[in-house]
Amino acid sequence: MSAQATVLYDAPGPRARAFHRIASVAVALILLAVGYVVYRALDDKGQLTAEKWDPFLESTSWTTYLIPGIRGTLVAAAVSIVLALILGGLLGIGRLSDHRSVRIVSGFVVELFRAIPVLILMIFAYQVYAEYQVFKSSYLALAAVVTGLTLYNGSVIAEIVRAGILSLPKGQTEAAQALGMRKSQIMLTILLPQAVTAMLPAIISQMVVALKDSALGYLIGYVEVVRSGQQLGAFYGNYLPALLVVAAIMIVLNSALSALATYVEKRLRSGRKGRAAPTVPAVPPAAPGMDLTAGA
């Protein structure tokens, strides 16, 4: 067997390597051809000219379209993330409750809203709020977007919380119960602080999902960055540059959110490592002939 072989597959022979090289070159040529066709089509439509980028050098394009869209995206994402974390924590702990009724209700809510697409939740919430005039008309779209994002992401976070708590050693819970601690005390002072560190990577990913899914609000009239980019492209006739700018903005927002969450995670981990473990006083060595049981 060749030295390049692994436990997963046998190393390719001379013919297989030659075939792989030919296939790679063929795929590269096909991609180049497709890219050239797309380039020609965009160039014929005038989407690649320098004039299409001129609107982004004007302040009115940002103050009228992009900045309000960015603000709308950040507001919807921030509110929904906070509410989803609260809802997810409550539902996740509820699924671990000793009371059967609480477990059933929490499990039903989690499975229900995890199964419904976010866009359907937004549209349904918008129709309900509009029908019963729950919010003012200027806040209808925002309330619907936040509701949909909160219900869906809160249900996903609930499963993350439940899995994080269950991943901890059971001996800690048993030891705390032996000391007479109530389950609420065990959950808040022992289990959750440890589970948060393990849950953070998954929670960060879900926060990024919430930020990206806020773009679905444009279908119900919510002013966010994707809708603003489409409006700017329709006004100036530069759809491709507008979409590229919107994509760059979303990349920056998601990268900033990920960096912030990662920083918080590192601080939490370093804080846990930096805590000094309780020291046990050393017992002095017994003198020769000393009876340690004396006076017991």
**Nearest of 139, 153, 32 to residue 82 by alpha carbon:** 153
Going by pLDDT thresholds of 50, 70 and 90, the confidence category of residue 197 is: confident
Measured from the Cβ of residue 102, the count of other Cβ atoms closer than 10 Å reads 14
Going by pLDDT thresholds of 50, 70 and 90, the confidence category of residue 273 is: low
Q: Is the pLDDT of residue 279 over 80?
A: no
Domain 72-223 architecture: Orthogonal Bundle (1.10)
pLDDT tens profile 146-196: 999 999 999 999 999 998 888 888 888 888 888 888 888 888 888 888 888
Q: Is the pLDDT of residue 3 over 50?
A: no
- What's the pLDDT at 44? 83
State which H helix or E strand residue 282 sits in. Answer: none
In terms of C-beta density within 10 A (0-12 exposed, 13-18 middle, 19 or more buried), how is residue 274 classed? exposed
- What's the pLDDT at 202? 85
The whole-model pTM stands at 0.78
Of 150 and 270, more confident: 150
Q: Is the pLDDT of residue 291 over 90?
A: no
In terms of C-beta density within 10 A (0-12 exposed, 13-18 middle, 19 or more buried), how is residue 120 classed? exposed
- What's the pLDDT at 271? 67
Sign of CA dihedral 186, 192, 194, 195: positive
**Nearest of 256, 128, 163, 151 to residue 204 by alpha carbon:** 256
Tokens of 165: 């708590």
Mean pLDDT for 15-41 is 92
- What's the pLDDT at 294? 46
Mean pLDDT for 203-217 is 90
Q: Is the pLDDT of residue 211 over 50?
A: yes
Question: Distance between CA atoms of 229 and 108, rounded to whole angstroms?
Answer: 38
**Nearest of 74, 86, 155, 72 to residue 116 by alpha carbon:** 155
Q: Is the pLDDT of residue 145 over 90?
A: yes
pLDDT tens profile 49-106: 888 889 998 999 999 999 999 999 999 999 999 999 999 999 999 998 888 999 999 9
Contacts of residue 53, defined as CB under 8 A and 6 or more positions apart, other chains included, come to 238, 241
Contacts of residue 230, defined as CB under 8 A and 6 or more positions apart, other chains included, come to 218, 239, 242
- What's the pLDDT at 283? 44
- What's the pLDDT at 152? 96
pLDDT tens profile 220-269: 989 999 889 989 998 988 888 898 999 999 999 989 888 888 887 788 77
Q: Is the pLDDT of residue 31 over 70?
A: yes
Q: Is the pLDDT of residue 38 over 50?
A: yes
In terms of C-beta density within 10 A (0-12 exposed, 13-18 middle, 19 or more buried), how is residue 271 classed? exposed
Q: Is the pLDDT of residue 4 over 70?
A: no
Going by pLDDT thresholds of 50, 70 and 90, the confidence category of residue 8 is: low
- What's the pLDDT at 111? 94
